[in-house]
């Protein structure tokens, strides 16, 4: 596994993610989290994982704090997915270029640093654009557009 990917531990996978998913699917958002459903790029089956969506201005984003993980690979192939919660939101996804990520990463870290800051190697919301740009290739970001 590439060094910039932090694989979740047993507790995260088997306890924390399942608990967040269970609550979120019943309309009880845990700190604003949602469940991302995206089709597997090989199996075509729905894959689910908790995510922390970010609203910035008029756009919404999904940021991959753990790096290039399965859901990011699947998203690139599927071109969209669903956000699950009290309601299902179908969306299309557009990947953001690394040079365009600093403002998004700063806002994401400002909102979610307590939960995901460990995955950003000491870079935080107060970091310079240069520091954020340096880590941008390690953290895929997708702008999501809800289908009408």
Query: CA torsion 116→98→134→62, rounded to 10°?
Result: 0
- Alpha carbons within 13 angstroms on the beta-carbon side of residue 94 total 9
The domain that holds 39 is classified in CATH as 2.30.110.10
What is the pTM (predicted TM-score) of this model? Answer: 0.81
Q: Residue 115's pLDDT is what?
A: 83
Q: Is residue 63 part of a domain?
A: yes
Segment 60-110, tens digit of pLDDT: 999 999 999 999 999 999 999 999 988 899 999 999 999 999 999 999 999
Q: Is residue 1 part of a domain?
A: no
Domain count, the chain: 1
State the residue range of the domain holding 137.
10-146
pLDDT at 24 over 80: no
């Amino acid at each position: 596994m590439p060094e910039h990917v932090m694989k979740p531990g047993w507790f995260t996978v088997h306890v924390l993610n399942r608990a967040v998913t269970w609550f979120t699917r019943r309309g009880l958002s845990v700190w604003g989290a949602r469940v991302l459903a995206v089709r597997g790029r090989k199996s075509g089956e729905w894959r689910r994982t908790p995510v922390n969506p970010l609203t910035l201005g008029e756009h919404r984003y999904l940021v991959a704090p753990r790096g290039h993980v399965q859901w990011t690979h699947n998203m690139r192939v599927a071109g969209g997915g669903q956000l699950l919660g009290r309601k299902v939101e179908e969306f299309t996804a557009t990947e953001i270029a690394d040079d365009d990520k600093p403002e998004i990463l700063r806002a994401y870290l400002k909102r979610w640093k307590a939960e995901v800051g460990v995955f950003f190697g000491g870079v935080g919301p107060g970091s310079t654009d240069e520091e954020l740009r340096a880590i941008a290739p390690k953290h895929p970001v997708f702008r999501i557009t809800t289908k009408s």
